[in-house]
């Protein structure tokens, strides 16, 4: 879930589990940069399970861990946390930051798709009218 309240190592483990869907302690350890001991990874997985972030199932002789929160829900939660923490809850600021860091790599097609998403959101929720008023480009 990469949620607030997790340690750096716990966030690393959650990121690995979200990327892979599920993984054993060995798989998690092998994917971690500067990995701690196998015992430490097992202990962190146990703590994450106690906190309710992961669950395990037995596959053969090993436990396989998976996130308890769906990837899409975790993604929305992480974006909301990022938006509130670093951008004062203002979506236009996070969009501006994303465009700033990725402007050199965005293709025209990607920009067109993003524009279409903004247009659709405006039609469905009045976003375009408020954006238009702020930018002086009312329709």
Q: Which residues, at least 6 apart from 66, have a Cβ–Cβ distance to it below 8 Å? A: 17, 21, 22, 54, 55, 56, 57
Average pLDDT score, the chain: 86
* Token pair in block for residue 8: 């750096």
pLDDT 10s digits, 18-71:
999 999 999 999 999 999 999 999 999 999 999 999 999 999 999 999 999 988
CATH of 8-67, one of 1.10.486.10, 1.10.10.10, 1.20.120.1200, 3.30.450.20: 1.10.10.10
For the chain, give every domain's residue range.
8-67, 71-135
Confidence of residue 104 (pLDDT cuts 50, 70, 90): confident
The distance in angstroms from the start CA to the end CA of the chain is 40
Between CA 44 and CA 32, with CA 9 as vertex, the angle to 5 degrees is 100
Asked whether the whole model's pTM tops 0.75, one would answer no
Strand order in the sheet with 62-67: 23-24, 62-67, 54-59
């Amino acid at each position: 879930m990469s949620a607030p309240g997790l340690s750096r190592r716990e966030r690393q483990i959650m990121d690995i589990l979200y990327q892979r869907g599920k993984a054993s302690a060995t798989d998690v350890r092998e994917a971690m940069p500067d990995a701690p001991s196998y015992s430490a990874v097992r202990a962190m997985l146990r703590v994450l399970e106690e906190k309710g972030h992961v669950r395990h199932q037995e596959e053969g002789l090993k436990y396989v861990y998976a996130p308890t929160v769906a990837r899409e829900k975790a993604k929305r939660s992480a974006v909301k946390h990022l938006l509130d923490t670093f951008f004062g809850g203002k979506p236009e600021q996070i969009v501006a930051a994303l465009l700033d860091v990725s402007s050199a790599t965005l293709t025209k097609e990607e920009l067109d798709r993003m524009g279409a998403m903004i247009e659709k959101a405006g039609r469905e929720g009045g976003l375009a009218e408020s954006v238009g008023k702020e930018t002086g480009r009312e329709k």
